Homo-oligomer: A and B are copies of this chain.
Amino acid sequence: MDTVTRSAKAAFLREDLGPCACQRRIRSTLDVIANKWAVPVLIELVRAEGEPLRFTRLARAIPGITQKELTKQLREMEAAGLVRRKVYPVVPPKVEYTLTELGWSLDPVLDALARWAATYGNVVADNQAQFMARKNADGADPQEPAPPSR
């Protein structure tokens, strides 16, 4: 069952580009989308389905983010061309954010990520808890971490 898992997929990763040729390309991409808040922001914009979102609306939709971090993240994504920033010269100020076409192209990645998180997120949390517990109560029988239950 696990041989199926490791044979059928990731065909792309196994294409022989040089051993770390794909690593370098991925590095710069990760510098954009692997930031702490990048994915949450992107997901909110995807969920908006093209409807422009204002700054405060975004901030409230993402629990735990501060205004500083949100600003920084949005600027970075604007620079990468993932997000369009539209400023209305009115008072009080009004700024709207939407995904660009390039931003929408991330959809499959975000979807895969969200699916994985929904399926295995709690398993990961359990494993981490057990790992901590095993460190404290040392010398206990070293168990295999819980395999996914499906």
Q: Which residues of A are in contact with B by a Cβ distance under 8 Å?
A: 2, 5-6, 9-14, 19-20, 22-30, 32, 34-36, 38-40, 43-44, 46-47, 49-50, 61-64, 78-82, 99-102, 104-125, 127-128, 131-132, 145-148
Decide: A43 and B13 in contact? CB cutoff 8 A: yes
A-B contact pairs, 30 of them (CB 8 A): A2-B101, A5-B105, A6-B49, A6-B104, A6-B107, A12-B115, A14-B46, A19-B61, A20-B63, A22-B118, A25-B121, A26-B39, A28-B125, A29-B116, A29-B117, A29-B120, A30-B113, A34-B36, A34-B38, A81-B123, A81-B127, A81-B146, A100-B147, A101-B147, A102-B124, A105-B119, A105-B120, A108-B112, A109-B109, A109-B112
